[in-house]
Chain A
Amino acid sequence: MLVIGDAGAASQLAWLGAGTAALLVTAGMVAQSPAPVHAAVAVLGVLFLLRHDARLLLAPAYGAGLLVMDDLAIRTMELSGVGQIATGAIMARITATLAVAALGACVSAVAALAVTAAVPRTLAVTAVGVLAVVAAFVGLVILARRRFGSSLG
């Protein structure tokens, strides 16, 4: 578990993490690979744990921001080899991403409110959480396989 007691050390760690994330994004752009970009997003997500103030309330917006950043970086990579981009091709994608990110932030905010309901952490609650995660994944995978077979990118 990441617990930093000293504010100065936390700030230094945050800068280090931000630098690492920037480097990873740059590496992804150069190598034309999305994996470093996703790794950068993961690093920035972990960095969020360093905050001591109002973490739960900020997390949905932070997650939505990371999502937009990740998608924009991937889109930039996709379009880097394109000779000509037609008007509207970029804006439509950004609008769609922002809309879904806003929806995600709303869902996350609802989840944050549920978290603040102060449910005691028990084995049963953890099992329910695991089951919910597994069910969400299985549901998504089944849906994807039904629609696209095994060719989902």
Chain B
Amino acid sequence: MLALAGAGLVAALATGRPELALIALPFLVFAGAGVVLAEEPAVSATVEPGRVRLLEGDNLGTTVRVRNDGRVPVEVEVALVRAKHLAVSPAGTVALRVDARSEAEIAFSVRPGRWGAHGLGPLTVRARDALGLTTWEGRLGERIDLRVFPREERLRELVAPLRTQPFLGSHVARARADGIEFADIRPFQAGDRARQVNWRASARRGSLQVNQRHPEHSSDVVLLIDTFEEARDQASGTLDAAVRAAAMLARAHLGRRDRVGVVDFGGTLHWLEPAFGTTQLYRIVDALLSSDIAFSYAWRKVDSLPQKVLPPGALTLAITPLLDERSIALVSELRTRGFDLTVIEISPLDHISRGPTAADAVAYELWRLEREALRARLRALGIGVAVWESGGSLGPTLEEVNAFRRSARAVLRA
């Protein structure tokens, strides 16, 4: 603007045409007014999300407050800095005018597309004076960490453990002791309580018979998440489904008073020892949110894990896409060592499309058959393998595992 005014005035002087100077004068006045009126903006801004813990797919209302403590109105353009998996509406920049010594609000809607810890904020702010001649840019507000939890399905059936622990729980133990579930009757022995006597059976048999019952015990459950490798398309990947499955299983088992631990088995190794209760659920979910694929050449074996992470008699649920040789070797080794193991296979087929050529189609079919053969090999070892298609319900998958475990009980106990 100043350059235009200057050019006009100089041209007027050079050519002796006063019209050019007269045309340039409004530009000069504009530039002068801009300089006189403009002042360093006293703008502050805050990002206020409705909450910081939410489920994936939830809409989070977020208010951005912009305050102008200056003496003149400012035009402000505000954009929310956000993590990759957060969709913000309105997208991009929002332009508004904030009067002198007043505050303006902008309502954003934030939608997380994926579980995890996502950063929201600070704000990128560009402020202009009333005439738009001077511009200030900067970042205002603070980064807020949103904890986005995977959306869960309520599980009605869980994988029944082979062995239970002598703590009160919800699993009917195979042992006989005090409990609710009727197991058998046997002849009365000294020390038996009178309330245990089954009078109807005693009358029929002519001698005192007592009821035997199965006690309700808890079990140890270890969720083994394979983070060696994943199949991923633009929308989602097998690790997303694995974390969702692990969160569902952890919540369901802890709800049944089981001790639950988590092992993140991949390029990096993380674990949480089995424990009871709601606190453990929050620990597990927090640990799951930081799960990620870490590329590594390292070959890890069961020995890499501390013993207390895999307690004897624990039910181990391996959640894996069965893509990496190391995770396949691990589940085989665990079973060989006598662990009660079940594999919940997160199907990678949804994320891998067959190629366009006939050769691609053949290769895809061969790969699919190889996976079938792998499942058969694991089942022959006594490992229950059930495939969970992403988007489907986990309940039927667990029922499939239980059906296998019922039919292969002899192998499993071996």
Enumerate chain A interface residues (CB-CB to B < 8 A): 1, 38, 41-42, 45-46, 48-49, 55-56, 59-60, 62-64, 66-67, 70-71, 74-75, 78-79, 81-86, 88-89, 92-93, 96-97, 100-101, 103-105, 107-108, 111-112, 115, 121, 126, 129-130, 133, 136-137, 140, 143-144, 147-148, 151-153
Contact = CB atoms under 8 A, between A and B. Distances in A.
9 contacts: A49-B20, A60-B25, A86-B106, A104-B30, A107-B25, A111-B18, A115-B22, A147-B39, A148-B40
B4 A71 contact: no
Interface string B248-285: 00000000000000000000000000000000000000
Given A1-B17, A63-B26, A107-B29, A82 B95 contact: yes
A63 B93 contact: no
Contact of B23 (A38, A59, A140): A59
A35 to B, nearest CB: 10
A18 B136 CA distance: 34
A38 B96 CA distance: 26
A74 B30 contact: no
A70 B30 CA distance: 11
Contact of A101 (B3, B18, B26, B73): B26
Contacts of A108: 22-23, 25-26, 29
A63 B36 contact: no
B91 A83 contact: yes
B243 to A, nearest CB: 32
A104 B134 contact: no
A55 B22 CA distance: 10
Contacts of A143: 35-36
Contact of A89 (B23, B90, B95): B95
Given A55-B19, A63-B23, A92-B73, A100 B135 contact: no
A62 B29 contact: no
Given A56-B18, A104-B28, 19 more contacts: A38-B4, A42-B4, A45-B8, A48-B19, A49-B17, A71-B30, A71-B131, A83-B93, A84-B92, A85-B96, A89-B97, A97-B30, A101-B30, A104-B27, A129-B13, A140-B31, A148-B134, A152-B35, A152-B134
B16 interface: yes
B29 A86 contact: no
Given A86-B94, A86-B95, A74 B33 contact: no
B299 to A, nearest CB: 49
Contacts of B9: 133, 136
List 5 A-B pairs, minimum CB-CB distance, nearest first. A104-B26, A83-B92, A59-B22, A86-B96, A104-B29
A67 B30 contact: yes
A48 B132 CA distance: 27
B231 interface: no
Contact of B130 (A45, A83, A86, A96): A96
B52 interface: no
Contacts of B7: 42
Contacts of B91: 83
A140 to B, nearest CB: 6
A82 B131 contact: no
A92 B97 contact: yes
Given A42-B4, A89-B75, A49 B30 contact: no
A111 B22 CA distance: 7
A48 to B, nearest CB: 6
Given A38-B4, A70-B4, A111-B21, A63 B97 contact: no
B195 to A, nearest CB: 73
A79 B8 CA distance: 28
A59 B19 contact: yes
A82 B35 contact: no
Contacts of B10: 133
A147 B97 contact: no
Contact of B1 (A42, A70, A79, A93): A70
Contact of B33 (A55, A93, A100): A100
B201 interface: no
Contacts of B17: 1, 49
Contacts of A49: 17, 19-20
Nearest to A132: B9
B94 A82 contact: yes
A147 B25 contact: no
Contacts of B19: 48-49, 55-56, 59
Contact of B131 (A1, A100, A137, A148): A100
Contacts of B24: 45, 63
Most chain B CB neighbours (cut-off 10 Å) among A1, A93, A104, A147: A104
B32 interface: yes
A60 B30 contact: no
B42 interface: no
B13 A107 contact: no
